[in-house]
Every structure is written in structure tokens, then in C-alpha cells.
A and B are shown apart, each in its own frame.
Chain A
């Protein structure tokens, strides 16, 4: 949500991209020309691991870079989830449960029901996987409720960091990281349940069961398979990124009028954030149940 100290008049074309740039730590190649804040250019004599000072630098780092903010907050949220649920699970008794255990049991029971409705195989992985995805994604989404300038302001005042973007799910790296994990599980379950031949047959002989249609079938099925992680990752990323952009736009309004749009938008996301987490979870379960069911 919004609060900018300098009031209105900020350039949206600067303000928004600035807030959407990650704190990137990566390797700049030798001979790279860095433009300093004062406009001077320094050429790097050797390849250096450093924090990107501009968006261009972050882009030029290529693959050899890490978004410290996304990954850090993602880890923090994952640890928060694990810690809370572990605290609840450690003291779990079959007697009268406490408040924390109640909460943990509600979530576990709900996810268990969700998985049992869809996934008919026996697996000790799917249900905890679904619980982790739901809670983790929701917690990461929930960071979007933090006022958009609050954490970046702290980061810049205390640590002098130029860029700081805290919502991990508004970073495609994070959403793709999870969806590729799910994709790996899809492949693993397909091969485990159906075997190599069964899985290849499914890819080659669906939807038209004729040897002449094999190339066409393969094309369709492989596209369908590849689409799964993309749809998972991009749906989540797109939704949360868009929400973030709207929050940033609202933050550009004069401070006295921000609440008019900010409050309804934040309340609306009481629905959106759990819903996106829920969709990711349910689709994961559905994909994995498809992968482990023979046709």
C-alpha cells in the first residue's frame, strides 16, 4: 500500500519500474562499463560479483545473478510457515488441542480432503506438497499487503539499497521455480506409475489412436505437458504483479486520497491472494493425479 513522502508529482514512468526492480546480486563480466551515480564511467578490470546499481546492470548480469529480495523473502515466508506448522505439529496430541494445533489441524484436514477428492493414488508426498504450496504461496502473496514504500524505504535508509521488491510471487523466478518443481514431479509420477513405455504411449497415441497420427499426437501432448508449468507460473505471477502495479499506481496519488482506492483494493485481495494460492495448489494436485492415473 502506498505512502510516498514527496507527495504527488512523482513520475510514474520512473517510480513504478523502480519499485519493480529487484535487489540483484550477480556477476558483471570483465570490461563492463559501470555508470556511477555521479555520471562517471568505470570499466571493470575483472569479472566481479556485485550488487546491481541500475536496472540495466541487473539485466546485463544475465543468468549468473540472484534476486536477494525475492529469494530472501520467499525463504523467510517458507521458514515462517515451517516454523508455525512445526510448532503446532510438535505438540500435537490426540487429546484436547490448543489454538495453534487447531489451526494447523484445520489446514491439514482441509488440504487432506482436497487431495483425497482428486488424487486417488497412495502417496505420502502429494498432501504435504499441497499444504506447503498453499501456505507458502499465500504468505508470499500476503507481502503485497505491506505498504509499497515501507520496506524499500527501510532498506534504502538503513542499508543504502537502491532497489528492494518484497513480493516474491511478483517475480517470475519464484513462480517458475515452484512450477518447474511441480513439472518435475509430473514427469516423475508419470514414469513411476506408467513406466517409460506407458508414458510414451500416452504421449504418442492420444487423442488419435492411429500410428499415422503419432507426430500430431506427440506435438499436441508435448505442448499440453509443457503448458502446465507455464500456466501455473504465469497465472500466479501475472495476478500478483498486476496487483502490485495497481498498488504502485495508487501510491502515486496525493496521500490524502490514496485510502479511497487503496482500502478497497487491499480488501479485494483478501479474496485474490488465497484464491491464487488455492488455484496453484489445486492445479498441482490435478496435474499430479492425471500423471499418476492410467487411461
Chain B
């Protein structure tokens, strides 16, 4: 339990170890810890930013999706309309064509009828004269009855 120079020795070594710790141990360790803290804070920040970015992107994607859906619907509607229109037009055209064909046919028929009538008209006086001659037993002069024959032909 003697107090002696050990005391001085311990004081000197105490000072030396504290100095060593202060100079070579404390600064690098605390600096590393501070740097890591900054890194972690940065990382968390980046994560937050990324989350926000993701949210924005998702919002954008949904809005684009909605827009494109609307566009698609519009396109389909237009297409339907156009198709109906085309069908209508085709119907109209068909009807018109049909009508035209009918009209042409009728005109032809009329023409044929007229032609037949003309032929008939041309032949009616001959037939009438031939008939009358058969009935009378002698020939009949057709020119003597021209007026009557023409009247008959016109009645046809």
C-alpha cells in the first residue's frame, strides 16, 4: 500500500493512452459513423423519392390507360358508324340500281309491246282484208277501205 513513483508512471501512461485514443482511435471511428449516417439518410431519402416517383408513374399509367381506353371506344364507335353508313349507302345504291334495272326492263317491255303493236297495226289491215275476203268470197280492194282500216289499226 506504499505510494511511490508508480503513481507518476501511471499518470504519464494515462496521459499517453488518452492522447493516443484522442488522436488515432476516436476521429476515424466517429467519422466513419457520421459518414454511414449520412449514407443511410441519403438512402432513405432516395427510397422516399423512388416511392413518390413510382406513385407518379402509376398515376400516369392509369391516366394513359384510361385515355387509350376512351380513344379505343371512340375509334370503335366511329368504325361502327362508318360501317352502318357504308351499309346504308350500299343499300341505297342497291335500291337505286334495282329501280334502274326495273325501269329499264319496263321500258324494254313497253318498247316490245309498242313494237308488237306496230307490227300488229301493220298487219291488221291485211288480216282484216284477208278475213273479209274469205267471208265475202271475193277479193276486197284494200285501198278502197283505207280509212276504215286505219281507224281499226289506231284503235289497237
* A interface with B by C-beta (< 8 Å): 22, 24, 26, 58-59, 61-67, 70-71, 74-75, 78, 81-82, 85-86, 88-90, 92-95, 97, 101, 104-105, 108-109, 112, 124-125, 127-129, 131-132, 136, 168, 171-174, 176-178, 180-181
Q: Is the CB of B26 within 8 A of A172?
A: no
Closest chain B CB from A196 CB (angstroms): 24
Report how far A140 CA is from B144 CA in the complex, Å: 171
Q: Is the CB of A177 within 8 A of B11?
A: yes
Question: A184: nearest residue on chain B (CB-CB)?
Answer: B11
Q: Is the CB of A78 within 8 A of B2?
A: no
Q: Is the CB of B33 within 8 A of A178?
A: no
Q: Is the CB of B5 within 8 A of A66?
A: yes
Note all chain B residues with C-beta closer than 8 A to A58: 2
Closest chain B CB from A101 CB (angstroms): 8
* Count: A-B pairs, CB below 8 Å: 140
Q: Is B60's beta carbon under 8 Å from chain A?
A: no
Note all chain B residues with C-beta closer than 8 A to A131: 21, 25-26
Q: Is the CB of A173 within 8 A of B32?
A: no
Q: Is the CB of B22 within 8 A of A129?
A: yes
Q: Is the CB of A105 within 8 A of B32?
A: yes
Report how far A86 CA is from B19 CA in the complex, Å: 12
- List 27 interface pairs A-B (beta carbons < 8 Å), by A numbering: A24-B2, A24-B4, A66-B6, A67-B4, A78-B17, A82-B25, A85-B29, A86-B25, A89-B26, A95-B36, A97-B36, A101-B32, A127-B26, A128-B21, A128-B22, A129-B21, A129-B22, A131-B25, A132-B17, A172-B3, A173-B2, A173-B6, A173-B10, A176-B7, A177-B8, A180-B7, A181-B18
Q: Is B1's beta carbon under 8 Å from chain A?
A: yes
User: Which chain B residues in 7-53 approach chain A with CB under 8 Å?
Assistant: 7-11, 13-18, 20-22, 24-26, 28-36, 38-39
Note all chain B residues with C-beta closer than 8 A to A88: 25, 29
Q: Is the CB of A92 within 8 A of B2?
A: no
Q: Is the CB of A64 within 8 A of B4?
A: yes
Q: Is the CB of B33 within 8 A of A174?
A: no
Q: How many B residues face the partner with a CB closer than 8 A?
A: 34
Note all chain A residues with C-beta closer than 8 A to B7: 173, 176-177, 180
Q: Is the CB of B11 within 8 A of A181?
A: yes
Contact partner of A132 (CB less than 8 A), chosen from B2, B3, B18, is: B18
Report how far A187 CA is from B16 CA in the complex, Å: 19
Closest chain A CB from B16 CB (angstroms): 8
Contact partner of B4 (CB less than 8 A), chosen from A66, A86, A97, A181, is: A66
Contact A82:B3 (CB < 8 A) given known A92-B32, A94-B35, A105-B29:
no
Q: A81, A127, A128, A177 — which one has the most chain B CB atoms within 10 A of its CB?
A: A128
Closest chain B CB from A115 CB (angstroms): 11
Report how far A25 CA is from B32 CA in the complex, Å: 44
Note all chain B residues with C-beta closer than 8 A to A177: 6-11, 13-14
Closest chain A CB from B139 CB (angstroms): 141
- Give me 9 other A-B pairs in contact (C-beta within 8 A), A127-B26, A176-B10 excluded: A22-B6, A62-B4, A66-B9, A86-B25, A89-B28, A124-B22, A132-B21, A177-B14, A180-B11
Report how far A61 CA is from B5 CA in the complex, Å: 11
Closest 10 CB pairs of A and B: A177-B10, A94-B35, A173-B6, A92-B32, A128-B22, A128-B26, A128-B21, A65-B4, A67-B6, A89-B28
Q: What does the 1/0 interface line of B43-87 toward A look like (CB < 8 Å)?
A: 000000000000000000000000000000000000000000000
Report how far A104 CA is from B10 CA in the complex, Å: 24
Contact partner of B2 (CB less than 8 A), chosen from A65, A82, A90, A94, is: A65
Note all chain A residues with C-beta closer than 8 A to B4: 24, 26, 61-67, 173
Contact partner of A81 (CB less than 8 A), chosen from B3, B17, B38, is: B17
Note all chain B residues with C-beta closer than 8 A to A65: 2, 4-6
Note all chain A residues with C-beta closer than 8 A to B33: 94, 105, 108-109
Q: Is the CB of A75 within 8 A of B5?
A: no
Q: Is the CB of B10 within 8 A of A71?
A: yes
Note all chain B residues with C-beta closer than 8 A to A129: 18, 21-22
